[in-house]
Amino acid sequence: MSLELKNVEKKVGIDTHIHPTSLKLEKNTINVLLGSTLAGKTTLMQIMAGLDKPTSGEIWFDGKNVTGMKVQKRNCSMVYQQFINYPNYTVYENIASPLAITGVKNDEIKQRVGKVAELLKLSAMLNKKPDELSGGQQQRTALARALVKDSDLILLDEPLANLDFKLREELREELPKLFEDRDCIVVYATTEPSDALMIGGNTATLLEGKVIQYGKTLEVYNRPENLISAKVFSDPPMNIAEITKSGDNCKFTNNDVQWKSSAKIKDGTYKIGIRPHNITTYKEGNNSVEINGKVQISELSGSESLIHFTNGSLNWVSLSNGTQQKNVGEDTKLYMNTDEFLYFDQNNRLVNNG
Amino acid sequence: MNKTINQKAWYFVIPVFVLVAFNAAIPLMTVVNYSFQETFGNNVFAWEGTRWFKQILLSERFHASLGRQFAFTFIILLIQIPLGIAIALTMPKKGWGVPVCLILMSMPLLIPWNVVGAMWNIFALPDIGFLGHSLNAMGFDYNFTQQPGDAWFTTILMDVWHWTSLVVLLSYAGLNSIQPAYYQAAEIDGASRWATFRYIELPKMKKVLTLAILLRFMDSFMIYTEPFVLTGGGPGNTTAFLSIDLVKMALGQFDLGPAAAMSLIYFFIVLLVCWVFYNLMMKNEAQS
C-alpha cells in the first residue's frame, strides 16, 4: 500500500497553487508536510483525499489510479485546524458517525467507539455535546472520529494550531503513539519545524506550492538538499552568510572571523547556513570560533535564551541553553560551532555539511 | 476615595424617555383608557370595568377572526420557512451570481406594502389580471373576489411572494457562516446530502431561523395593508384577519371600547406567543 502523486499540478485561474509534484508515501509511515501558510499543504492534502482534483497529473493508491475518484470511496479521514464536529450530536454519536453511515452493526460501533474514546481519554464525556467541551477535548473528538474507521489514509491539517500551548505539547506527544499500530498512511501538515522533529517519520519541506525536499525527517533536517529546504526547516530562522574558502581556511566575506574547514569542497565563495542553536554564549564542540556582536534583542524562551545581534552589516540569531542575560546594545562574544555549518554553493545546493 | 455625586447624567436620558413616552406609552395608555370606559363623544366617559374584555373574549366574531389569523400565519410559516431554506441552499456561494441573486431576492422586500396589495389585486383579477385570466383560461374557476378559497389562495400566494425573501436572506447568511471544513468532513464521512443538511446546516442555522420565524410570525400575525388592499377582508368576512376586523370595529362601527379591548388582547397574544416560542428555542440552545 502506498500513495503516489505523479506530476500533480493544481492551478486556479492564473494562479498555480501546486507546481508539478511527485511524491510517494509508503504504508505505515507518518509524513509531515512542513511549510509556512500558503505553501500549499492544505491543497496537497485535499488532492490526496480526493476533495479536490489536480489540474494535471495522477494519484495512485495501492497500485490503482484513483485520480478523480470521489472522497467517499477512498476510505480516508481528515482532521482540521478548526475543531470540526457535528454540533448537535453527542461525543459518542460524533465518533460513531463515520461507522453508522457505512452501516456497521451497533454492537461493533459501541465496542470500537469505546476503544477509541479510551485511547483519547474521552470515555467520561461521551454523552456531552461538542459545545460543552474544551478546545482540546473537541479536537480529541475530531481525532477519534478520524481514528475510529480503519482509514487507509489519515490527513491531519495543522490539528494542533488552535490549541493552547500546554494542550498542544500534550497532544503532540501522544499523536505518534496513536498511529503506531495502524495499517495506514498518515499525513500531518504543520508550520512548525519543532512539530516535524517531534513526530519524526518523513518530512516534505514545502515553499510556494513546491515540494522542496522529501525524506526521513532527521535526514532532511541534518542534510537539507538546498538552502530553501534548510530555511523552511529552521526555527528560529537560519543564519546565512557568504564565505570564501581557500585551502583549509574559511573566512566570512563581511568580517574577519576565520576557521579551518575539513570540508572536501573546491576553493571559492559559498553561502553557509548556521542554525541558531549552533551560535551560543559558551563554547561547544572542538572547533568553535569566536564572533563579536552587538546585542539587539535578548529574550528568554523557556530555559533557552534567544539573542539577536549584529556583526558588521549582518544580523545574527543565536540560541543558547540556560538563561543568558544580555543588555541591549552590549558588546558580547559568542561562539559558533563550525562542525555544524552547512555549506551551500552558488546554486544554493548543499555541498557538504561540515 | 470619595465619589463625586453628580446626577446630571440623568438629563441625557430625558430625550429617550420623552420619545418612548410619546411613541409607545401615551398611545398605549389611550387605548387602555378606552378599553375600560364607554365614550359618548365630546370627551364624555363612563366607567365600564372589564365589560369590553369579556364581550370580546366571548364574541364569536373575535374567535372567528382569531382562528383565521392563526390559520393564515401557520400556513405562511409552513410554506415560507422551508421554501426560504430551500432557495437559500440553491443560491450560489461565490461569483457574479451572488449579487444578482441577492438583489433579486431583496426586490419584493423593498416594495411598499399597499403597492404589493394593489399589484396582486390587478394581477389576480379574473377578467384582466394575468394570473386570474390565465387560471380561468386553463379551466380553473378562479375568482378571488367571490370565492373564499380563491381569496385565501391569492392572499397566501401574495404573502409568500412578498416575504419568503426575508427567510432566504437570513438563511443564506446562516449558511455562509458555516466553515467549508464542515462540508468536507461530512463528505469524508460519506454523509448524504440530506444528512449534511440535517446534521450540519440545520443546527448551524438554528439561530437565524429562530429569528426568521419570530419576525415572520409577528409580521404575518399583524398583517393588514396587503389583504386590505387585495380583498378588503372579503368575500364576506373570510379573509378578515385580526387587524382588519379590528379596524372595522374601531373605525367602521366606531365601537371604540370593544376595539380598544380587542387591540390589547391582540397585543398580549403576540407578546405571549413570541415569548413562549423564544424561550422554547433558547431552552434547547442552553442544552446543546
Interface check for B284 against chain A (CB to CB < 8 A): the answer is no
Which of A52, A88, A150 would best serve as a mutation to test chain B binding (most B beta carbons within 10 A)? A88
> Which cell is A95 given?
465518533
Min Cα distance A43 → chain B (Å) is 13
Min Cα distance A200 → chain B (Å) is 27
Interface check for A127 against chain B (CB to CB < 8 A): the answer is no
What residue in B sits closest to A156 (Cα-Cα)?
B185
Q: Is this prediction's pTM over 0.95?
A: no
Of B182, B190, B200, the CB nearest to A101: B190
Angle, alpha carbons A279-A281-A284 (nearest 5°): 65
- Is A87 in contact with B200 (Cβ distance < 8 A)? yes
Pairing status of strand B37-39 against strand A350-352 = unpaired
Domain spans of chain A, in order of start: 2-227, 239-352
Min Cα distance B180 → chain A (Å) is 10
- A43 contacts in chain B (CB < 8 Å): none
- Domain A2-227: give its CATH architecture: 3-Layer(aba) Sandwich (3.40)
- Is A102 in contact with B190 (Cβ distance < 8 A)? yes
User: Measured between alpha carbons, how far is B164 from B108 in angstroms, rounded to an integer?
Assistant: 9
- Is B188 in contact with A71 (Cβ distance < 8 A)? yes
Closest CA to A273 of A221, A325, A208: A221
Interface check for B190 against chain A (CB to CB < 8 A): the answer is yes
- B200 contacts in chain A (CB < 8 Å): 86-87
Interface check for B203 against chain A (CB to CB < 8 A): the answer is yes
- The H or E element that residue A319 is part of is strand A314-321
Calculate the CA dihedral of residues B124, B127, B128, B130 and round it to 10 degrees: 50
Tens digits of pLDDT across chain A (354 residues): 788 888 888 888 888 888 888 888 888 888 898 888 888 888 888 888 888 888 888 888 888 888 888 887 788 888 988 888 888 888 998 898 888 887 788 888 998 998 888 888 888 888 888 888 888 888 889 988 888 888 888 899 888 888 888 878 888 888 888 887 788 888 999 988 888 888 888 898 989 988 888 988 888 888 888 888 888 888 888 888 888 888 888 888 888 788 887 777 888 888 888 888 888 888 887 888 888 888 888 888 888 888 888 887 888 888 888 888 888 888 888 888 888 888 888 888 888 754
Map residue B190 onto helix, strand or coil.
Answer: coil
- Is B188 in contact with A89 (Cβ distance < 8 A)? no
Min Cα distance B85 → chain A (Å) is 19
Domains and CATH numbers, chain B: 60-287 (1.10.3720.10)
| Cβ burial A148-184 (10 Å sphere, 16+ → b, else e) | bbebbbbbbbbbbbbbeeebbeebbeebeebbeeeeb
Min Cα distance B195 → chain A (Å) is 9
Of B184, B189, B191, the CB nearest to A51: B184
- Is A72 in contact with B187 (Cβ distance < 8 A)? yes
What class is the A239-352 domain?
mainly beta
Q: What is the pLDDT of residue B79?
A: 96
> Which cell is A206 given?
514545502
Whether the ω angle into residue B235 lies within 30 degrees of 0, i.e. cis, is yes
- The H or E element that residue B119 is part of is helix B113-124
CB atoms closer than 10 angstroms to residue B221: 20
pLDDT < 70 stretches in chain B: 1, 284-288
- Is A129 in contact with B185 (Cβ distance < 8 A)? no
Interface check for A71 against chain B (CB to CB < 8 A): the answer is yes
Pairing status of strand A202-207 against strand A239-246 = unpaired
Interface check for B286 against chain A (CB to CB < 8 A): the answer is no
Of A77, A97, A129, the CB nearest to B288: A129
Interface check for B184 against chain A (CB to CB < 8 A): the answer is yes
- A145 contacts in chain B (CB < 8 Å): 185, 189
Q: What is the pLDDT of residue A323?
A: 85
Q: What is the pLDDT of residue B288?
A: 44
Of A46, A78, A102, the CB nearest to B185: A78
